[in-house]
Amino acid sequence: MLILGIESSCDETGLALYDTARGLAPGRAAPEGLLAQALHSQVAMHRDYGGVVPELASRDHICRVVPLARSVLQTAGCAIDAVDLVAYTEGPGLAGALLVGAAVARSLAFALEVPALGIHHLEGHLLSPLLSARAPSFPFVALLVSGGHTQLLRVNGVGDYTLLGETQDDAAGEAFDKTAKLLGLDYPGGPAVSALAMQGDPTRFKLPRPMLHSGDLEFSFSGLKTAVLMLVKRELDTQSDSAHTAQIRADIAAAFVAAIVEVLCAKSIAALRQSGYAQLVVAGGVGANVQLRQSLNAAATREGFAVFYPEPALCTDNGAMIAFAAALRINARGVPQANNVFSVRPRWDLTQLG
């Protein structure tokens, strides 16, 4: 079955083609099914505003989605009428942005007389490490760290997700983005803060480790952002020497990364202990973070668990994870009936999926 996947929940338009006969058949490896993928990131467009402008995002998705669909079909050498199912991100995300992907997917499926399937964006992230050459198997614990979510989940199979803990306020990616802004770095802040932190001394300033000893698997990052703000006011706003300023900024970035990584790592280990599972899957944009990976890899060796990440290109939003999540759903549940129910869900609880 040839699946066209469309991602448009935020500021990336992602398209991909996944062939279940090549990727999920006996004796085949999942990556073999990914025939083509194409992505347009709107980061440059939103940078001037310091964050995503929803209306601009929707309008840009409209311009990109059809050319990108053509591009993946051409790369894979497939005609449009070879597509057997159109999968799209139904939620969560920006309502207008989701509507673009949903409208294109539903119209295309209607015209081709094939089913369309709405996919939960976080399920896409969660299952994307299964698209690696070295893939985990069910069951596993997932640490989902994106721009809007920070969750620990027990994953027993496709659609079988139990929430173990989540952030009470800001998401990890949001904390990275806000810290970047305080340090005068461009949006999106995660990669920039990470790179700056590498030049800094993580021990010069001590930042809080929110809820590290809370005894549960909940997170909170808004206090960390406030602590960074206080540090910036105290150390940077009073400093006029530019050489000193550069080093202070790097040291604050390093202190921030050390704090957030320590909390994410400690709670992931606690979640593994609590569930008795030996595999950890890390997904979502913050999963691309080098310092987090170093720390989790060291913990895995020390504590005797295995840790899995998506391929670097699949950490942030993309169409491949949507096409692939649809493929796994169809493999587990069968092909959905063709229907014309058109819906998007800007807010959508992952654990409500069946």
Closest to ligand KG4 by CB, 18 or 187:
187
* CA–CA gap between residue 8 and residue 277 (Å, rounded): 33
Q: Which of Zn ion, ligand KG4, none lies near 173, with the C-beta cut-off 5 to 8 A by kind? A: ligand KG4
- When the beta carbons of 19 and 170 are compared against ligand KG4, the nearer one is 170
Min dist. Cβ of residue 349 to ligand KG4 (A): 15
Give per-residue burial for 119-152: e unless 16+ CB within 10 Å, then b. bbbbbbbbbbbbbbeebbeeebbbbbbbbbbbbb
Instruction: Find out whether 24 and 11 touch, Cβ atoms under 8 Å.
Output: no
For the bound state, the minimum distance from the C-beta of residue 139 to Zn ion, rounded and expressed in Å, comes to 23
Among 146, 150, 194, 291, binds Zn ion (CB under 5 A): 146
Q: Indicate which of Zn ion, ligand KG4, none lies near residue 148 (CB less than 5 to 8 Å, by partner kind).
A: ligand KG4
The answer to the question of residue 19 lying near Zn ion (CB under 5 A) is no
Where do the DSSP E strands lie in 224-265? Answer: none
- Least distance in angstroms from the C-beta of 234 to Zn ion: 34
89 binds, among Zn ion, ligand KG4, none (CB under 5 to 8 A by kind): none
Secondary structure E strands in 255-348: 279-283, 306-308
Which of 42/289 has CB closer to ligand KG4?
Answer: 289
Structure tokens at 332: 């587990």
Q: How far is the CB of 51 from ligand KG4 (least distance, A)?
A: 10
Work out whether strand 2-7 and strand 12-19 pair parallel, antiparallel, or are unpaired.
antiparallel
Sign of the Cα pseudo-torsion (203, 191, 10, 80, in order):
negative
Of 21-29, 72-80, 104-112, 142-150, which part binds Zn ion (CB under 5 A)? 142-150
Residues that bind Zn ion (CB under 5 A): 146, 317
